[in-house]
Structures are given as structure tokens and as C-alpha cells.
């Protein structure tokens, strides 16, 4: 057996060819992430999107053995067509995309411009379901030299089915990387003074532009099953705190600014009171003028533009209501961007 001696050893440098790729580093990435969007309103695009959404264990917590026969046997054969028709009514036809995609891209562009004085900070955007995906954009930021990334789930109030699933997908992406970037996740900002001020001002500005002031303003949040809340999800508490602070800022009480929950799915009991039933009850009780705002949505989307601005308005009018108005989400407005910028600058402290 031959023993290695100094003549058998090669210089360490020879183990690494001179043309090996250089690893970019030294930059900080910010990734804005919203819920998701189908690529189109056709059946195939909608089915692909709905399938990805409803197979997420954070969204539907039922046992797979119980849920999958329902999902693949019924839901995915009927829901894509129905949801596709709803998307058609609020589709951004000019850009051939959903408004959620439009607004999220605009938010990313505006934030990048605002942070332009910091050349080592890169801003990008992604969707939890659909395209551009979290894995693709995290990888792109890493390849561009971002060894530190701030992940910003665009949900003011934390829920496992929204914030947590964004974090899950990001961590899952890192699991496949040998050299991982450092990752920070943005905490809920449901009680941030900048956010509360933006929502209060949005209500005030919209109402002041109407000929007749609404008798009641509803704050409609996306619901979650009550079982999720009982199991420890803080979402309901975050929503209620947001509205308590907004009422205090406006000097209103719960009879003037009410909190409701929308977008039920499946047979379970969800957070109450339900938005559509409240709208109906108010109209039947003789209320003639209401406005609805969605403080849990950073950008207008199907749930605000179709479910509230259209469907809830129709319910109100059908039962005797006269004037219904939807207060737009903050979207990429100056007020909305001030909120996003304030949160990002706070969470980047020590990095940029």
C-alpha cells in the first residue's frame, strides 16, 4: 500500500478551477408577497390556481382523506368555472391580468423608487399561489447578490392561512439551498399607527366626497373558520384591535363603524357577523346609506371588487337600501405606500 507524501499532494487551488462562477453577495432584498392570482379567467388557468390554493394544508385543515375526494371529485370540477366568471367582471383588461397582480407590481415599483437612495437594497414581488412564485423570486434575489432578505407577507392581521403559509413556502425554498440567505419575516402590523391613520383617513376622505354621508360604515374582513380561532389563531383579535383603534381615531362607536366577516367557504361556522347577512339586515331595518371598507386587504381583488363592491351592493339594494359605496383598498396610493415603506424601513434596521 502506497502512503501519500508531499509529492502526491496537489495545491488546494487546483481543486477549484479558475473559471468557477463568482458568488454575488452584499445586497439586501425585500420581497413583497400577496395571496395570489390566476393567469387568466379561462377554466384551465382557474383550475390550476384553485387547486394550488385549496391543497394548501394551512387553508383547508381537514384530513386529506376527507378533503381530497371532495376537492377533486366536486370542487375542482365546478368552482373554476364559477370563479372564472366572477374574475371576468373585475379583470384588468388593459393589462390582461387581475388587479391584485397590477397593484402588487405597482407597490414593488413604488417601494423600489422610494428606497432608491439605498443602492444595495433590491425590491421584488411574488404571489403565494400562482405567478410569480415565491421560490422563483427568492432564488432570483439570492442570485442577484442578496444574502439578506426581508419577506413581507402583505397582510396587516396575522392568520395561519395567509401570513404563515407565505413564511412556510419561503422556508421550504431555503431548505433546497446549500448557501441560504438570512431571512427576516415582517410581523403583523394591524395596530401600527401609520396603518391605523391610513385606514381612518381613507374612510374620512371617501365619505367627505359623497353627497350624502353613510349612516353606517362596515369594515369587512376576510373570514376564517371558527375552529381555527379556537385552535389559537390570533386573526380575529387582530381584526378587532384594528377596528377599535380606527374607531378611537375617528371618534366613532360600534354602531357607526361595524366589523363583519366575508368569504365563507364550506359547511363550517366562520367568524361572525357575516358581511352579506349584515348588509341584508341593515337594509331590511330601514338603513338607506352604507359604505364598506376592507381593512384586511392591502390591494383590491376579487373579494373586494366583486364580492363587496358588486355582490354586497346588489344585496343591499334588493332589500330596500338606496346608496351603497365601496371604499377602495389602500392599493398603491400615497397613503398605502407610506404604510409599506414605514414597515419596511423599520424591519430593515441593522441591515440597511
Does residue 352 belong to any structural domain of this protein? no
| Cβ contact 329:102 at 8 Å | no
Q: Residue-wise pLDDT tens for the chain (352 aa)?
A: 444 443 343 334 444 455 555 667 789 999 999 999 999 999 999 999 999 999 999 999 999 999 999 999 999 999 999 999 999 999 999 999 999 999 999 999 999 999 987 789 999 999 999 999 999 999 999 999 999 999 999 999 999 999 999 999 999 999 999 999 999 999 999 999 999 999 999 999 999 999 999 999 999 999 999 999 999 999 999 999 999 999 999 999 999 999 999 999 888 999 999 999 999 999 999 999 999 999 999 999 999 999 999 999 999 999 999 999 999 999 999 999 999 999 999 999 999 8
Number of domains in the chain: 2
d(CA 203, CA 165): 30
Is residue 261 within 8 A of residue 271, CB to CB? The reply is yes
Q: Does residue 83 lie in a domain region? A: yes
Residues in the chain: 352
Pair 163, 113 in one domain: yes
Is residue 2 situated within a structural domain?
no
Domain range for 158 is 27-188+335-347
- As separate numbers, helices (DSSP H) first and strands (DSSP E) second, the chain gives 12, 8
Query: At 314, which CATH number?
Result: 3.40.50.1400
Whether 317 and 171 map to the same domain: the answer is no
Residue 121 counted as domain residue: yes
**Residue 108 is assigned to a structural domain of this protein:** yes
Q: Is 232 helix (H, G, I), strand (E, B) or coil?
A: coil
Q: Would you say residue 22 lies in a domain?
A: no
* 3-class SS of residue 135: helix
Please check whether residue 67 lies inside any domain of the structure: yes
What are 185's three cell numbers?
419575516
105 and 40 share one domain: yes
- Residues 92 and 202 both lie in one domain: no
Q: Which residues pair with 325 in a beta bridge?
A: 291
Q: Assess whether 119 and 178 both reside in one domain.
A: yes
**Residue 184 domain flag:** yes
Q: Is 323 in the same domain as 201? A: yes
State whether 228 and 143 are in the same domain. no
| Whether the predicted model's global pTM rises above the 0.85 cut | yes
Amino acid at each position: 500500500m502506497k502512503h501519500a507524501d508531499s509529492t502526491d499532494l496537489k495545491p488546494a487551488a487546483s481543486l477549484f478551477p479558475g473559471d468557477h462562477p463568482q458568488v454575488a453577495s452584499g445586497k439586501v432584498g425585500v420581497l413583497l408577497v400577496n395571496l395570489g392570482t390566476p393567469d387568466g379567467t379561462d377554466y384551465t388557468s382557474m383550475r390550476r390556481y384553485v387547486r394550488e390554493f385549496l391543497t394548501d394544508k394551512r387553508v383547508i385543515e381537514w384530513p386529506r382523506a376527507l378533503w381530497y375526494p371532495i376537492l377533486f371529485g366536486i370542487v375542482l370540477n365546478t368552482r373554476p368555472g364559477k370563479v372564472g366568471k366572477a374574475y371576468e367582471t373585475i379583470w384588468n383588461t388593459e393589462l390582461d391580468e387581475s388587479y391584485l397582480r397590477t397593484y402588487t407590481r405597482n407597490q414593488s415599483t413604488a417601494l423600489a423608487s422610494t428606497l432608491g437612495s439605498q443602492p444595495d437594497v433590491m425590491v421584488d414581488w411574488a404571489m403565494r399561489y400562482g405567478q410569480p412564485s415565491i421560490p422563483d423570486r427568492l432564488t432570483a434575489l439570492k442570485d442577484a447578490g442578496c444574502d439578506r432578505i426581508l419577506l413581507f407577507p402583505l397582510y396587516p392581521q396575522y392568520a395561519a392561512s395567509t401570513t404563515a403559509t407565505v413564511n412556510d413556502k419561503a422556508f421550504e425554498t431555503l431548505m433546497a439551498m446549500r448557501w441560504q440567505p438570512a431571512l427576516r419575516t415582517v410581523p403583523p402590523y394591524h395596530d401600527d399607527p401609520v396603518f391605523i391613520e391610513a385606514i381612518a383617513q381613507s374612510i374620512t376622505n371617501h365619505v367627505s366626497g359623497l353627497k350624502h354621508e353613510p349612516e353606517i360604515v362596515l369594515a369587512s374582513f376576510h373570514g376564517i373558520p371558527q375552529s381555527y380561532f379556537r385552535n389559537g389563531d390570533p386573526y380575529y383579535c387582530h381584526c378587532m384591535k384594528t377596528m377599535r383603534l380606527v374607531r378611537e381615531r375617528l371618534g366613532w362607536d360600534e354602531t357607526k363603524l361595524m366589523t363583519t366577516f366575508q368569504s365563507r367557504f364550506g359547511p363550517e361556522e366562520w367568524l361572525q357577523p357575516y358581511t352579506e347577512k349584515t348588509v341584508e339586515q341593515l337594509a331590511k331595518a330601514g338603513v338607506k346609506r352604507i359604505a364598506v371598507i376592507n381593512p384586511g386587504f392591502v390591494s383590491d381583488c376579487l373579494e373586494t371588487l366583486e364580492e363587496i363592491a358588486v355582490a354586497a351592493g346588489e344585496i343591499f339594494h334588493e332589500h330596500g337600501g338606496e346608496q351603497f359605496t365601496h371604499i377602495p383598498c389602500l392599493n398603491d396610493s400615497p397613503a398605502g405606500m407610506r404604510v409599506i415603506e414605514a414597515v419596511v424601513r423599520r424591519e430593515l434596521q441593522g441591515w440597511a
